[in-house]
Amino acid sequence: MKRIAIIGTGYVGLVTGAGLSDFGNKVICTDVDREKIDKLKQGQVSSFEPGLRDLVIRNVDARRLSFTADVGKSVQESEVVFIAVGTPMADNGEADLSAVKETARTIGQNLNDYKVVCTKSTVPIGTGEKIRSIIQENCPQDNGFDIVSNPEFLREGSAVKDFLIPNRVVIGSDSERALKIMRNIYRPLFINETPILITDIVTAETIKYAANAFLATKISFINEIANLCDATGADVHVVARGMGLDGRISPKYLHPGPGFGGSCFPKDTQALVHQAENLGVELNVVKAVIEANEAQRKKVMEKLDQLIGKDLKDKTVTVLGLAFKSNTDDVRLSPAIPVIEDLLARGAEVKAFDPEAMNNMRVLFPTITYCDSLNLAVSEADAVIVMTDWHEFRGMNLEEVARRVKHKVLVDARNILNPRELKRLEFKFQNIGRPNVR
């Protein structure tokens, strides 16, 4: 068992802290946001993530997990310090490392013994060395430490499972002492024969960005194939299945839709391109992925225009789904945002429903109408747009929807509804890459 401090109690930090404590380590999660810490002490987990609250409460009750706003003290009392603060996208596309740098300064100022300093935040390639330099500059005495890169590969909506049963763990370090400690922390996964990839720091940092960029590439690729299917009459779902059966490709992330959003793919692809350009390297494929995603976000409104026309003044349009994906309340860079912006700019009255994300979207759009249920949202609507693939939407009663709407106009941007049923109920509808009903 190791004594661990997690600095940053956002999505990554809290999942990491709760997960590591579940492995038997004694973990203290710390944050400069005292209000957030106070809520966590009361058992309140601010973000929606299936299984996370139960995981937190279980380990708090077992006295393996605790919370504090005293960052310095948590560093002093720990053997391993994880940096899990946010690295949002700056205006120029690069990652904003201000929180990471401030955290490194705090670690240096409170270094009272040998410690492993582990970067869990998604950071640009080469950040490990910057962290090392900042800690050295701020260390009051000659206390040893080692830097480790341990990138996260958590999917929002299944983060707890991804942490407790990962498909791999990447640990980057140039210190055998640090690697021994990290192996001990992740010992339960070694027993389960989880692949543990040991490498140097810069390679570990690169793996994180490369993985996210490749997954984003798969999404943009299948979206472009879906657009081709719209023109040819082919069914993109059958095409994707035919591709995915090839073991070299796999079916994962071959799901057409309105483009990727969230806190990772948009930010990480932009940051990777920005850093590569600074190094004189052209990442033409990743640039194309970003451009294709921006173009895809416009397809939803283009399809609505085909059904109802461009004049939306005094029309009521219902948006079903505000989170960037199902099983999360995260609306950061959600594809629903530009759709709502366009609807409002063109004079539409916007109604919305999402099982979890409405409070977060209210911060961005306080004046649209948020409904307590799907049925209330679609009532008297001139058009309905499905933007998120919640199970509740997959199983919606289309006959009930047909009775409630003013006009039977629907854009299924996630391809989760039955086209034959829509046709039987005389809906005018559009999908993504499924133009014909056979």
Predicted confidence (pLDDT) per residue in 408-430, tens digit = 999 999 999 999 999 999 999 99
| Euclidean distance between CA atoms 87 and 332, whole angstroms | 13
Catalytic positions, written as ranges: 264
What is the pTM for the complete model shown?
A: 0.93
- Summarised one tens digit per residue, pLDDT across range 204-244 is 999 999 999 999 999 999 999 999 999 999 999 999 999 99
* Nearest in space to 154 (alpha carbons), one of 288, 274, 3, 18: 18
Question: Is residue 435 included in any domain, yes or no?
Answer: no
> Does 27 lie in the same domain as 101?
yes
Question: Is residue 134 included in any domain, yes or no?
Answer: yes
Question: Is residue 438 included in any domain, yes or no?
Answer: no
pLDDT at 340 over 80: yes
| Euclidean distance between CA atoms 72 and 31, whole angstroms | 10
pLDDT at 438 over 80: no
Question: Is residue 436 included in any domain, yes or no?
Answer: no
Please spell the DSSP secondary structure of 269-317, one letter per residue: HHHHHHHHHHTT---HHHHHHHHHHHHHTTHHHHHHHHHH-S--TT-EE
- Summarised one tens digit per residue, pLDDT across range 101-140 is 999 999 999 999 999 999 999 999 999 999 999 999 998 7
Look at the chain and report how many structural domains it folds into. 3
| Euclidean distance between CA atoms 69 and 82, whole angstroms | 15
pLDDT at 435 over 80: no
* Nearest in space to 40 (alpha carbons), one of 24, 60, 25: 60
Question: Is residue 437 included in any domain, yes or no?
Answer: no
> Does 225 lie in the same domain as 181?
no
Banded pLDDT at 158 (limits 50, 70, 90): very high
> Does 181 lie in the same domain as 54?
yes
Banded pLDDT at 357 (limits 50, 70, 90): very high
Paired strand residues for 353: 320
pLDDT at 293: 97
SS3 176: helix
> Does 190 lie in the same domain as 67?
yes
> Does 142 lie in the same domain as 51?
yes
Question: Is residue 304 included in any domain, yes or no?
Answer: yes
pLDDT at 89: 85
| Euclidean distance between CA atoms 10 and 327, whole angstroms | 17
Q: Which of 267, 295, 323 is the last residue of a domain?
A: 295
Q: Listing from the earlier edge strand, what are the strands of the sheet with 115-119? A: 65-68, 26-30, 3-7, 80-83, 115-119, 145-149, 169-172, 196-199
Name the average pLDDT for the chain: 95
Tell me which residue has tokens 């080469």: 126
pLDDT at 217: 98
- Summarised one tens digit per residue, pLDDT across range 52-100 is 999 999 999 999 999 999 999 999 999 999 999 999 988 888 899 999 9
pLDDT at 149: 98
**Residues 291-296: what's their mean pLDDT?**
97
**Residues 302-315: what's their mean pLDDT?**
95
Q: Which of 199, 229, 249 is the last residue of a domain?
A: 199
Give residue 152's domain range: 3-199
Q: Is 309 exposed, middle or buried (0-12, 13-18, 19+ CB in 10 A)?
A: exposed
* Nearest in space to 164 (alpha carbons), one of 149, 180, 153: 153
pLDDT at 436: 63
pLDDT at 146 over 60: yes
* CATH number of the CATH domain containing 291: 1.10.1040.10
Question: Is residue 418 included in any domain, yes or no?
Answer: yes
Q: Is 180 exposed, middle or buried (0-12, 13-18, 19+ CB in 10 A)?
A: exposed
Banded pLDDT at 437 (limits 50, 70, 90): low
> Does 127 lie in the same domain as 25?
yes
Q: Are 351 and 368 in contact (CB under 8 A)?
A: yes
Banded pLDDT at 405 (limits 50, 70, 90): very high
> What values do phi and psi take at 364, rounded to 5?
-85, -35
Question: Is residue 383 included in any domain, yes or no?
Answer: yes
Cβ–Cβ contacts within 10 Å for residue 424, how many? Answer: 13
* CATH number of the CATH domain containing 141: 3.40.50.720
